[in-house]
Amino acid sequence: MNILFASSEVAPFIKTGGLADVAGSLPKALAASGHDVRVILPLYEGIGQDWRNQMNYLFNFNVSLAWRTPYCGIFELKRDGVTYYFVDNEYYFKRAGLYGHYDDAERFAFFSRAVVETPGYLNWHPDVIHANDWQTALVCIYLLEERHRIPMLYGTQSVYTIHNIEYQGRYGKDLMVDLFGLNSGYFHEHMLAYHGDINLMKGAIYAADYVTTVSPTYANELQYAFYAHGLEGVIADNRHKLRGILNGIDTALYDPANGNGIAAAFNPDDLSGKAACKAALQQAVGLRQEPNVPIIACISRLVKHKGFDLVTSAIHDIMAMDVQMVVLGTGDWGYEEAFRQAQAQYPGRFSANIMYSAALSNAIYAGADLFLMPSEAEPCGLSQMIAMRYGTLPVVRETGGLRDSVRPNGVDGATGFTFADINAKDMVWVLGEAVGLYYGNKDAWHYLQHNAMTADFSWNRSAEDYLQIYNWITGKEMHPGRPFEEGPAEPQAPVEAAPVPEEPAPAEETAPVEETPVKKRVTRKKAAPKAAPAEEKAPAVEEPAPVGEKATATEVPAPVEVKAPAVEETAPVEEKAPAVEETAPVEEKATATEAPAPVEETATAADEPTPVEEKAPAAEEPAPAEEKTPAKKASGRKTAAKKPAAKKASGRKTPTKKSPSKAAPNAEK
Ligand code: GLC
């Protein structure tokens, strides 16, 4: 099957969020099962020279964008079995940042036209074009007509994936004909019209042959206004072709056993290296060298829907426990400032790192003990899965992909801690449960760590689910040469069949006004895993409920005090902690090639940037303090090559010598 994957960002070339990770890993997984997978993205200014040196210039043409005919150069790079096409137009993409420009509608309409027109110039027929989020929504709409007009697109089907419904691409109606080049007939309620405006995501949901979102729970949540941001009716109207498929992560990249970018390698059966990672992290971010105090970590954009109202309003409650905390990320000033103040107030115990750093994020995933992700909404979330790979137990709100990827303490195969409502007190309670387990029941803690580290977060299963959808809409074989029966054993339930989550109860401080709080989801106690001998008397518990099952209300155990045990002073780790810094990937240079003819290969696999080099010595595990187990309240879910032209590596507006002699019209605006 020929698959063209269109995305406005793709790791490792350029990234602002999880969309890039998915666009960087799902195509690889699809290609690994024998399909011809090609990915197309804009050639942004931010794409480094090292990558450009591996690109080959293929050709250029002029895109049809209403009355505009902007230049479009196509560069190619091959890597890990996938072919990447970079769309070049310096007027649109030689700018700082990816999004947020006054003419984003025009920039991504141009890109979407380029996606649809490129196959014709490649003389390559995509069976499926897979578009993502609002930036490529127009691809699905343009395809409605172009698949009858461009021979290479005859029969091409479209899949549209919603990674975050909050960003829809809403513009004035006047752009439709003059900018998007669409007939005014597209302005109707079952296409682009939305309260008198144009809504690109809405149009794509109607126009696409199939729609997916990034977790089964999010697919269900989208029927509620709280989550759907005004598109709940559109979702309801298109439920028959909507499915939630949980994202995977690149498990080869995020593997503590290879030790890449972390102070010491470790694995599920030998966690000794994690102590060295913890000491290195404490050293790197200015936390006290206390091997026995749990570190709670947050790595995120600091924005409301990630749950930072809960975190900032509960900072003192969290720090009242015997814990350390490290935050990494940038975002809204109010959150940044709250974390800076916490750092000033809790020196050596709270570390605010208001920045973006891939190297430091690796050090945190590897060295922390708990990963806090209390999102109000989370379509999928990848960080919690990465944290689990490194034995850093997630504490998450039961929403979207968080709910689908974390099994709460108390059920078989538990991998973390969860709470149901958008409520800071519930979050603190569950953090207390986690901290209590850390101090009071090491065996149970290690049981969770082992489960988390061995859970399968690879793309293996989810890539099959996408192939099944491609198969449904195209009739093409999922596995050429293999009998159809060997397809995925168990299709996920369509959106209607999956369990319907309750509406979230609004956070005390932050709840949206329109939402009415709904009854709380269960409360049940959690059981320590059977395998874990409780050292102290753990509160009496019921049998762990199977995941997915809804708990029924239970008595909340009288909170036993959650006293974090005093920790003995430990000698600071002497060795130097590794300096955490960004390292540029090393790549090889491609050789120059001639224009139009697609060149075969050249690209060398570039290694992912990997940070920390030195090894910090393993700090010895001090004997766990024996204190009371904390009280628990169950949260309970039971549930260019420049080769292109050797000359200009960067995006060009004008063709190089080898390029066809078309003049490169400036993109008018
Ligand atoms: C968006 C979502 C995030 C998801 C990612 C990849 O960034 O907010 O939850 O993991 O897309 O699909």
Q: How far is the CA of 402 from the centre of ligand 1 (A)?
A: 11
d(CA 57, CA 598): 8
Structure-block tokens of residue 317: 């409650």
Map tokens 């540029």 to a residue: 584
Phi and psi dihedrals of 130, rounded to 5? -110, 110
- Using alpha carbons, list the distances in angstroms from residue 48 to 227, 415, 586: 36, 38, 11
Q: Is the CB of 488 under 6 A from ligand 1?
A: no
Q: Is the CB of 20 under 6 A from ligand 1?
A: no
Q: How far is the CA of 415 from the centre of ligand 1 (A)?
A: 21
Map tokens 């269109």 to a residue: 6
d(CA 647, CA 658): 11
Task: Please name the residues in contact with 98: beta carbons below 8 A apart, sequence gap of 6 or more.
Answer: 8, 9, 14, 16, 44, 46
d(CA 322, CA 302): 24
Q: Is the CB of 402 under 6 A from ligand 1?
A: no
Strands 370-373 and 295-299: parallel
Map tokens 């666009």 to a residue: 23
DSSP 242-289: EEE------TTTS-GGG-TTSSS--BTTBTHHHHHHHHHHHHHHT---
d(CA 549, CA 552): 9
Q: How far is the CA of 302 from the centre of ligand 1 (A)?
A: 14
- Using alpha carbons, list the distances in angstroms from residue 399 to 38, 341, 421: 32, 29, 9
d(CA 108, CA 374): 32
Name the closest-CA residue to atom 7, ligand 1. 18
Least Cα distance to 24 among 82, 77, 76 occurs for 82
CA torsion sign for 33, 37, 42, 44 is: positive
d(CA 594, CA 592): 7
SS3 300: coil
User: Mutual orientation of helices 358-367 and 272-285 as an angle, nearest 10°?
Assistant: 130
Q: What's the confidence (pLDDT) of residue 483?
A: 57
Q: Is the CB of 19 under 6 A from ligand 1?
A: yes
SS3 159: strand
Structure-block tokens of residue 69: 């005919």
Least Cα distance to 265 among 391, 444, 406 occurs for 391
Question: CA neighbours within 13 Å on the CB side: how many for 591?
Answer: 4
Q: How far is the CA of 384 from the centre of ligand 1 (A)?
A: 12
Out of 98, 161, 214, mutate this one to test ligand 1's pocket (max ligand atoms within 8 Å of CB): namely 214
Least Cα distance to 665 among 68, 114, 107 occurs for 68
- Report the atom number in ligand 1 closest to the C-alpha of 375: 9
Q: What's the confidence (pLDDT) of residue 461?
A: 83
Q: What strands, in cross-sheet order, belong to the sheet with 350-353?
A: 350-353, 324-328, 295-299, 370-373, 393-397, 417-419
Structure-block tokens of residue 31: 């290609």
d(CA 82, CA 76): 10
Structure-block tokens of residue 250: 């690149």
d(CA 414, CA 397): 15
Tell me the three-class secondary structure of 137-157, residue by residue: HHHHHHHHHHHHHCHHHCCCE
Q: Is the CB of 655 under 6 A from ligand 1?
A: no
Q: How far is the CA of 22 from the centre of ligand 1 (A)?
A: 8
Q: Is the CB of 58 under 6 A from ligand 1?
A: no
SS3 327: strand
| Alpha carbon 624 to its chain's center | 35
Provide block-wise average pLDDT over 10 residues at a time, the chain (669 residues): 98 95 97 96 98 98 97 98 98 96 98 98 98 98 98 98 97 96 96 97 98 98 97 98 97 94 96 97 98 98 97 98 98 98 98 95 98 98 98 98 98 97 98 98 97 96 95 91 54 45 46 38 40 40 38 38 40 41 41 38 35 39 41 43 40 39 36
> Residue 198: beta bridge partners?
171, 193
Q: Is the CB of 385 under 6 A from ligand 1?
A: no
d(CA 664, CA 642): 18
Task: Please name the residues in contact with 419: beta carbons below 8 A apart, sequence gap of 6 or more.
Answer: 374, 395, 396, 397, 398, 426, 427, 429, 430, 635
Global confidence as pTM: 0.76
Task: Please name the residues in contact with 483: beta carbons below 8 A apart, sequence gap of 6 or more.
Answer: none
d(CA 433, CA 427): 10
Strands 370-373 and 128-132: unpaired
Quote the DSSP letter at residue 399: -
Structure-block tokens of residue 11: 């790791």
Say if CB 423 and CB 508 are below 8 A apart: yes
Q: What strands, in cross-sheet order, belong to the sheet with 128-132?
A: 56-62, 71-79, 82-88, 36-42, 2-6, 128-132, 157-162, 210-213, 242-244
Peptide bond into 12 cis (omega under 30): yes
DSSP 470-526: HHHHH---SSTTS-GGGS-SSPPPPTTTSPPPPPPPPPTTT--TTPPP-PPP-----
